[in-house]
Amino acid sequence: MKPLRHPCILATGAALGLAFSLPAAAGDSPAALTPTASPGTQALEIQLPKPLFVGTPKNIKSTNLEKPLPGKRPLYQVPAGTTLLSAGRKVSSSDQAPIIGSLELLTDKDKEGGDGSIVELSPGKQYVQIDLGKPAQLAAIVVWHYHQDARVYRDVVVQVAEDADFISGVVTVFNNDDDNSSGLGAGKDKEFIETYEGKLIDGKGAKGRYVRLYSNGNTSNDANHYIEAEVYGKALE
Ligand SMILES: [Ca+2]
Ligand SMILES: [Ca+2]
């Protein structure tokens, strides 16, 4: 009898759970994942898309990979009064003519993983930039590059600045380019596997009007993708 060549085509949570996190299974205890809120804070509410992983995980090569969480991301505490600042805001990019999709997809609140929800930028180091319209103090940035399969986007760097050219008041809040191949400085953050939960990045209270997110290809191909980028914080004006 011939062995099955693709025993995981009908992948189950058990089959996938070895390599990366999946949506909470019945029996998960949200209470156990919820840190105690302190006065003046609130849990960040993030609208999540439908999970899409349907295949087996790819062989991901990374020497700097964060260990995937065993379940859903714990609730994240942010300063009270924090709101979503980026919805509908203008997006620019180092690639003003994306290969697929348009830059508006970054802030249209659609985070579903299907092809129609994804903008594809040219290969190599590229950035997208969100204009919040006015200065703000940032609590968190959540980015969905892609979640049709498990992969890692390279050299993810997130910066905040006062001006659109990133000359004044530039603060780097995330950088996992550990070998400085993108030339923005070597970062100490870890690479991460993309999931439907997106990647939550601490805004560290950085102040600015513009948020820029860099990447440089991914472990499946050399293109750069975005589904949505959300910026949470408080307007300063
Ligand atoms: Ca979107
Ligand atoms: Ca690098």
Question: What is the 178 CA–ligand 1 centroid distance (Å)?
Answer: 28
C-alpha–C-alpha distance, residues 232 and 137, integer Å = 9
Q: Give distance in angstroms: CA of 52 to centre of ligand 1.
A: 15
Give me the mean pLDDT over the 226-232 stretch. Answer: 99
CA of 191 to the centre of ligand 1 (A): 22
For the residues of 2-53, what is the DSSP string, one character each?
PPPS-TTTT--HHHHHTTS--SPPTT--HHHH-PPPPTTEEEPP--------
Question: What is the percentage of the chain residues whose pLDDT exceeds 90?
Answer: 76
CA of 180 relative to ligand 2 center, distance in Å: 5
Please tell me the distance between residue 182's alpha carbon and the centre of ligand 2 in angstroms. Answer: 6
High-pLDDT (> 70) share of the chain, %: 82
Regarding predicted confidence, which is higher, 36 or 45? 45
The predicted-structure confidence for 142-163, as pLDDT tens digits, reads as follows 999 999 999 999 999 999 999 9
Longest CA span, the chain: 71
Mean pLDDT, residues 196-216 taken together: 98
Q: What is the pLDDT of residues 8-35, one digit of tens each?
A: 333 333 333 334 334 443 333 444 444 5
Flag the least confident range among 30-34, 109-113, 120-124: 30-34
Does the structural domain 13-26+42-235 have CATH classification 2.60.120.260?
yes
Closest-CA residue to 160 (of 232, 210, 201): 210
How far does residue 163's CA lie from ligand 2's centre (Å)?
A: 26
Residue pLDDT, tens place only, 58-79: 678 899 999 888 889 999 999 9
> What distance in angstroms lies between residue 116's CA and the mean position of ligand 1's atoms?
9
Question: From the CA of 227, how far away is ligand 1's center (Å)?
Answer: 5
Domain spans of the chain?
Answer: 13-26+42-235
Taking the centre of ligand 2 as the mean of its atom positions, its distance from the CA of residue 217, in whole angstroms, is 10
**Lowest-confidence range among 18-22, 133-137, 189-193?**
18-22
Q: Which pLDDT value is given to residue 56?
A: 54
- Residues 159/94, Cβ–Cβ less than 8 Å: no
Does the pLDDT of residue 116 top 60, yes or no? yes
Residue 153 DSSP SS3:
strand
